[in-house]
Amino acid sequence: MLSREDNETLVRVGPGTPMGALFRLYWLPFFLSKDLAADAPPKRVKLLGEDLVVFRDSAGRAGLIANACAHRGAPMLFARNEECGLRCIYHGWKYDVTGAVTDMPAEPPRSRLKEHVRITAYPCRERNGVVWTYMGPDAAPPPLPNMEWNLVPGDNVHLSMRVQECNWLQALEGEIDSAHAPILHARIDDRGAINDWIAKRDLRPTFECLRQPFGISIAARRRLDEETLYWRVNQFVLPFYSLVPPQSKFPELSGHAWLPIDDEHTMCLMFSYHPTEPLLPRMRQLFTEGHNGRETGHASRHARMPRAPTTPYADYWTRFNINTAFEIDFESQRTTWFSGLPGLWVQDAACQTGVAPIYDRTQENLCASDTGIVMARRLLLETATALRDRGVRPQGVAEPDVFMVRAVSLRLPDGTPWADAGGTHMTARLGAGFGYDI
C-alpha cells in the first residue's frame, strides 16, 4: 500500500504539484485531428486541471488557449471562430493561436494595449491524426515523442478517445496489471475467442519487472507445457503510457495514453495498430461498431453520449459510468460473462473507476501479482521527486527515440531469460514486423 502522502503526490496533477510539473515536461496527445474543423466553434477541454478551449483557425492551425478572456473573464467557449482567430463575444477582443491579441474593437484606435496583453496559450502540433500540446516551462519545446503508433501509416492504426471518471493512476494501473485480463474478461460458457486466449491456461502467473530508459517492462510468466513458458510483457512508458502485447488471434499492438484532465477525470486515448500492415476492415469495424451490442477495446460510436458544450471534452463522454452502473447485467454474469459487464473497455473502466474517483491506497492489501504496480509507483515517485528537488529530467523528455518500444508476447523454452530473448523484439523499428510468431 501507499502512504497517504505518497498517494497525494501521485494523484494531484494541477499547477505547482510534483506530478503536474513532470507531465508538463512532455508533449500531451490531447485531441483527435478529425474532430477539429476550421472556423468551427471552439471546444472546451481541461488538461492537468487547467480550463482551456481548442480550435482550428481559418488557416487550418490548431490552437489551445485559456477559456477565460484576458479582458474580463468571459468564456472563450462562446467565442466566434473567424478570420484566423477567436473573437470574444463580450467585447470583441480577438486572439490568434499564439495567444496574441489581434483586435480590440472597443478600444480607441491609437491604443497600444493589445501589444501588452496576451491570453494563456500553448503550442500545438499535429501528427498522424493526433493534436499534441506542450504546457511546459521551456520556450523551445522538446521534439515530439517518436511513438510507433503515431508514426505508422494511417491505415495501420485506429484511434479513439473517451473520458473516464477516475484519477489517471487508477486507469494506468489497470492496464499494466496483466493478471486481471483472463479473469475479468472471461466467459463462463466456454464460448467465444476470449476463451482461446493463451493466458487463460494459467491464471497464476509469476511476475518479473525490469527498469528501462523508457520506464518499466512488466513480464508475466505462464506455463504452456513442461518445456515452454509463455511471457506477456506489458510496458509502462513515462509519463502515462501503457503498451499491451498482441494476442495470437488479434495480431495488433495496442495501448493507452492516460492523460489527466484533472485529479478526478482521465482522457483515455486508445491506439491499436499493426507495425507493417493496414488493419483488417473487420477489425476496424469491430472497434467502431462493437460486436453484438458489446464494446471492444475501443469506445464504439454507439457508446457515445455527448454532453453540453460547457462540459470539458463534451464529445468524448460515454453512457458507461457510475450513474448507469456501467450497464452491468447480473443475469449475464450468472450465465455467460464472468463480470456481467458489456465489453472489454467497460469491464476495465468499471474496475479502474472503483469506489471513488481517487481511491485511498492506504486501504490496499497488495500481493505478488501487483509487482509491476508497486515498481511503477516507485518509479513515478522517484522521478517526480528528482525533478522537484534536483531539476533532473527523465531521459525521454529530450530523446524522442526513447519511446520506440513494443509490448511482446513470447513462447520461450523454460530457462531462457525473457529480457534477453525479447530485447530486440521490444524495440520498435518503423516498417519492421514483429520478428517472432505470435
Residues 335 and 413 in one domain: yes
* HSE-CB for 226 with a 13 A CA cutoff: 0
- Residue 114 pLDDT greater than 90, yes or no: no
Q: Which residues contact 80 (CB under 8 A, 6 or more apart)?
A: 86, 87, 89
Exposure string of 186-212, with b = 16+ CB inside 10 Å and e = fewer, is bbeeeeeebeebbbbebeebebbbeeb
Residues 85 and 229 in one domain: no
Tell me what pLDDT residue 200 has.
54
**Least confidently predicted of 2-11, 113-122, 242-251, 360-369:** 242-251
- The domain total for the chain is 2
- Using alpha carbons, list the distances in angstroms from residue 278 to 174, 248, 272: 28, 17, 11
Query: Residue 286: left (phi > 0), alpha (psi -120 to 50), or beta?
Result: alpha
Alpha helices in 214-299 (DSSP H): 281-289
The C-alpha cell that represents 400 in the structure block: 524522442
Residues 110 and 217 in one domain: no
Last residue of a domain, one of 134, 166, 193: 134
User: How far is it, in rounded angstroms, from Cα 248 to Cα 260?
Assistant: 32
Is 160 within the bounds of a domain? yes
Residues 266 and 403 in one domain: yes
> 202, 234, 229: which is closest to 218 by C-alpha?
234
- Residue 249 pLDDT greater than 80, yes or no: no
- Residue 317 pLDDT greater than 80, yes or no: yes
Percentage of the chain surpassing pLDDT 90? 87
CATH of the domain at 344: 3.90.380.10
Residues 109 and 160 in one domain: no
User: How far is it, in rounded angstroms, from Cα 140 to Cα 328?
Assistant: 48
Is 220 within the bounds of a domain? yes
- What is the amino acid identity at position 335? T
- Residue 198 pLDDT greater than 80, yes or no: no
Residues 254 and 393 in one domain: yes
Is 435 within the bounds of a domain? no
Torsion (CA) 160, 162, 248, 154 in degrees, nearest 10: 10
Which structural domain range is residue 100 located in? Answer: 27-134
- Residue 1 pLDDT greater than 80, yes or no: no
Quick one: how far is CA 271 from the chain centroid?
A: 9
- Residue 205 pLDDT greater than 90, yes or no: no
- Residue 400 pLDDT greater than 90, yes or no: yes
Tell me what pLDDT residue 250 has.
75
**How many secondary structure helices (H) and strands (E) does the chain include?**
9, 19
- 363 with 1: CB under 8 angstroms? yes
Residues 152 and 120 in one domain: no
| Mean pLDDT to the nearest integer, 110-126 | 94
Output the average pLDDT for the chain.
94
- 102 with 79: CB under 8 angstroms? no
Residues 89 and 185 in one domain: no
Query: Euclidean distance between the first and final Cα of the chain, in Å?
Result: 35
Is 178 within the bounds of a domain? yes
Tell me what pLDDT residue 193 has.
59
- 172 with 376: CB under 8 angstroms? yes
> 237, 231, 233, 232: which is closest to 216 by C-alpha?
237
Residues 300 and 170 in one domain: yes
Last residue of a domain, one of 96, 112, 134: 134
Residues 283 and 417 in one domain: yes
Is 355 within the bounds of a domain? yes
Residues 175 and 241 in one domain: yes
Tell me what pLDDT residue 203 has.
65
Q: Which residues contact 225 (CB under 8 A, 6 or more apart)?
A: none
CB atoms within 10 A of CB 425: 18
The C-alpha cell that represents 219 in the structure block: 513480464
User: How far is it, in rounded angstroms, from Cα 259 to Cα 82?
Assistant: 30
Confidence of residue 178 (pLDDT cuts 50, 70, 90): confident
**Least confidently predicted of 107-111, 149-153, 333-337, 356-360:** 107-111
Confidence of residue 288 (pLDDT cuts 50, 70, 90): very high
Q: Is the dihedral of CA 161, 163, 167, 172 positive or negative?
A: negative
Residues 167 and 309 in one domain: yes
Tell me what pLDDT residue 33 has.
98
Tell me what pLDDT residue 354 has.
81
Is 18 within the bounds of a domain? no
- Residue 324 pLDDT greater than 90, yes or no: yes
- Residue 194 pLDDT greater than 60, yes or no: no
CATH of the domain at 113: 2.102.10.10
DSSP state of 180: S
User: How far is it, in rounded angstroms, from Cα 427 to Cα 407?
Assistant: 9
Is 103 within the bounds of a domain? yes
- Residue 396 pLDDT greater than 60, yes or no: yes
Give Rg (Cα) of the chain. 23
Tell me what pLDDT residue 247 has.
84
Last residue of a domain, one of 134, 159, 176: 134
If you search the block for the grid coordinates 477541454, which residue do you land on?
45
Q: Which residues contact 138 (CB under 8 A, 6 or more apart)?
A: none
pLDDT digits 0-9 by tens, 49-95: 999 999 999 999 999 999 999 999 999 999 999 999 999 999 999 99
DSSP state of 185: T
Instruction: Give CB contacts under 8 A, 24+ apart, made by 68-73.
Output: 69/93, 69/119, 70/95, 70/101, 70/117, 70/118, 70/119, 71/117
Is 140 within the bounds of a domain? no
